[in-house]
Structure 1
Amino acid sequence: MLTQQNLNDRTGELVLLERLIDVLNAVFDAHGVCAATAQLIATHTGTSTIVSISDPVGKHNDVWICDGEGRMKQDRWGANEVFLEQIYQSESVGFYEKDQAPTRELLRSELWQIAQESIMVVPLPFPVNAGQITLPGMLCLVDPGIDCQVQPDNLSLLASQLTVFLDRALLRQRSAQQEVEFGIISDISHSLTSTLNLEEIISQVTDAVRRVLGAESLTIGLTDPSGTEIVFVEALMGPAFRHMPPVSFKIGQGIAGWVALHGEPAIVNNAYEDLRFSTKVDRDTGFLTNSVLCVPLKIEQRVIGVMEAINKANGNFDENDSRVLQAISGPLAVAIENALLHAQALAEKRRVETIFSSMSEGLLTCHRDGSISTANGALLALLGIDGGDIGDQKASEIIQTHPTGFAEFFEQVLEGEQDFPQFACDVRQGNNDSVPVLISGATIDQGKGEVDELIFVFSDLRQVREVERMRDDFFHNIVHELRTPLATILMYARLLREGKAINDPPKANRFLGVIERESDRLQKMVRQMLQLAKLEAGIIEGKDELASLNSVFEQVLPPLADRASQKGIAFEYNIQPDLPPVSGSVENIYMIIKNLIENAVIFTPSGSVTVDAQLDQDVVKINVTDEGIGIPKEAIPNLFRRFYRAQTAVERGIAGTGLGLYMVKEGLESYGGSIEVESQEGKGTKFTVLLPIASTQLLQEHTD
């Protein structure tokens, strides 16, 4: 039978429950639910009330303590609170008396520091099988009196309602977090489509994702071109990695390598206990890796890299974090792939533009309608066009060719009946001069099955024609040079055969001397041609030999001094007596020096020729100076070309093949030497030769 007191207690319990439901209906934050519950029960019952919930990873407990007068205190207790762990693991309301608690528990428990006599407590969530949304916690009344309106049976009812509202608050919090995450993912996905710059893409992603996940750092690694390594983006690695080589892992090595190999995400909340984790980077940098969340960056089924979040600041990485990172990884992988392809396309475009602009041949591309799309500087120079843009103009109007027009060749290339169509013609320049060219054409198919563009290469034939002219002159000179000594030899041989000097020994000796001299002249020409053939074939004779320059000068100078004296010109020389040997064959060095001095004598009608040879550090410097006819300024750049002869020499009727200086230069360069020329037309010329002295190793080899 209910007494009036029991009825009053029952009424008070219902009022408390109704008030709790009414208050919590307006609270949507888990911490707010806990604080409101503790305050409402404490003020209604006049009994100190404690509500606690643990953090998601169990590192601490958030606690709200309210005394009977409504004074609230919020605290945080450590995870080592032994008594709380016991309460969390229970399944029903418990009543505990302080004097029954073990001494160790009393000393270490924050809860027993508050209670004087006893506590009545129920675990959260309640009932314990109510679900896994509400985190472990408790609802506790401290030192409840006998007349306390909340008893064990209705404390469980309050805990059940508290669990419902905590579930709602945590679900709402999770939903709000997911909305934020979705918004960030959406923003990131949108921003990734707005740029093709890899650095911008990475900077847009990393900070936002790191904040969403609460991670200490976020790094991105990309597969190298060989597909065997993951190389991490250096700019994201932080100051500890600033002076280190790029961080990389072989595919299959470390957590990142494992993810790249298997194409699956990995959640590791204790890195040093995971066998896949590589400690090398931590050892090298002093960085401490605690937890890792790594997901693959995939294009369809192809892994192009990984994205790795390191060290979650509060708690452990979980499946929700993995889903967030995977949601971002898809658009990020596409954006990175597009950026890399764009960078490759730009690099290829720059490469083609560099080749296009730097080629010596003229290059022209046209649309199929005949309008010009691009033309390089060499073509503009060939056409005599100074600056200006000829794009979109008709090629047939800009390029004037004869004997037939460019339009006919354009149509021939467009039809594609010939594999390699070519057109030899003259192109008219802006000043109405004509330039001989060879035009080659080809079509450009962009893969659509039809021609989009045509490309034409204009090869300037002026140098070819000049080489042909010099070659013809060379053979003409050779024929002339051969004809004269052969005619002389033949004439004197016939005179001897006819007995013109049979009874005149002095005359016979004179005839034989002429034959011998002209034979030597022929032999010299043959030797020069053989030497030229060796140079053309890249055969370097005597590179490992030693040549004494003093001996060479002793052979070269006397006969040339006699020739100079016969011409009435002064011949002076100053040769250092102890010149060190140089590397090279004596024959070739002799040819080089003799050619230069002989030319000086030949091209000096009057005046002087001076030869000077001195050691200058590790080279021998030879100067051959004359006061002869000099060399025209415009001829100097071509002076060492094969077959080239200055016009002044041709006009004066000075014989030659145009090979001497070419062979001098080629011979010097084969031995590591060089030659320079200074000249003023009508006043004389100075050739300076630098020959490196023989190396210590070569000297030692010849000594041994």
Structure 2
Amino acid sequence: MHVPPQPRILYLDDEDSRIVQVTERLAQYGYVVRTASAPAEALRLAQDERYDLILLNPRFAAGDNVLSARLLKAHHALPVMVVVQSQAESNLLAQTADLDVDGFLVYSSDNDYLHLWPLWIKQALQRRAVQLEQERTLAALQQDNRNLTLLTRLAHILTSTLDVQQIISQLVQAIAEIVVTEGSSVWLRESEPGGSLVCAAMYLAGQDITADKLVMAPGQGIVGWVAQHGHPANVQHVSTDERFSPVVDSQTGYKTHSILAVPLITRHQVIGVLEFVNKIGGYFDDRDCELAETVATYAANAIENARLMESVSRQRDRLERQNEALDAFAHTVAHDLKNPLSLIVGFADLVRDGYATLPPETIQESLDTIVEHGIKMSNIVDALLMLASVGSDEEVVREPVDMGTITQAVIRRIEHLIRDYNAEVVVPKTWPVALGNSSWLEEVWYNYLSNGLKYGGRPPRLKLGYDEPQNGVVRFWVQDNGPGIKIDDPATLFLPQRHQPRDPLRKGHGLGLSIVQRIVNRLGGEVGAENLASKGSRFSFTLPLAPAASKEQNRSTTPVATPAATPASRPANLRG
């Protein structure tokens, strides 16, 4: 059974006999009385203990005692009752007029009225209790109206956009105002179940101070505990809670005293945590917890909906890319494979029908044509398979690549073209080390170099090179001495089946540069094509630069053939 605490009274008087009489009388009715005979003592007692009422005898040291009562009422909102001996003491009543006195207690030397004091005090305390309850009710009503307004505004904020980061940035400011705290933060769990928590946004002292990649390990800190257990945590003093982690304070320079943390739950899974720090004007209470959980429900649904829409958008973009690839594939099969296949069938029919009568040289020419176009069909199929492989959604593993070795392998592949065109190929002695995929990059260089030989000047002169890395990105290129690109937008060269010839006689199955673009994009780079001021054109691609301890360590060397190498291992007219 709950027993209410005894009312505590602070009695300001200095007459010993009256103090004894009043203290004994009130003690009989369950009141605890503490007395003070000087203002300083009264203020000290009020600081050390809680009181329900002040009894003031303004007669002794009137100015100081009235001032003490005034200070006590201002700082502790305590009711004041004044002790008087008769209504004739009008001067004393005037001194206490600004105290908003809650009642008067009459005292006489024969104690005629002392037995009534407990009743008068009880009535004063009851009036005070009613007044406080009315004030609390009004304050609660005003707070509910305020919260309703803020929640309505928050709901509008959360539904006005489907951008996750924008939702979080607006949320973290709004919730600090709703729960009335010095700061708030939103922590989101990384993709894997039970993963670490990443601070998506942080708002302290009216400023967005979101830190870069502030992470809490699973179970670390109060937010980690809330995410792990799926229950709110209301910590009034973090210094006494072993779950508290000082990581955020150490990085932000902020001092956390109290924390309220609630889980973000959607579809029965914890996706993150809302955290509130340092309640303004006191400690977090049950109303704050209820309000925070309501906000968390709104926020979790909004974040999840935005994530779903982002996923749908990514899926739509992926399907659009796949449809474009499928259209390009169908166009290629329908057109590029049709011509060599028609020639193969035609010459095969010719040989079959006229084998007995045709001259041997005609049969040989027909068979050579069949083989030539069969090889061309095989190359087209290989290109389609490469296009399909780089267009998949599988994760790409990028690693440091040796561009010197890659370009040498490509040059060996096209050595017959270099000899046929009497071409000159110039390569740098060293290369920056970039991040990529060696086999894919070999196809990039193969397409660029073979196009340069076929559509460059006569004889072709190709120069391979790179620009000095900037902002962690390096640009590789090959330039030719041909007539240049005769289209308004060179970027269209890289679109499937939309190639524009640099001259009317240009041939090809239209897949090479589209493959280059897909490969480079999957590796995190960009392709480019431009005409040179002097003559010719330059085709390029960018890649992320590999991390290195020093500039010297971030270089690879173009291999040089040794005198003992076979002729086939060293391309004709190679300079470097």
TM-score by length of 1: 0.40
Q: Which one has more relative contact order, counting CA pairs under 8 Å at least 6 apart?
A: 2
Larger radius of gyration: 1
TM-score by length of 2: 0.48
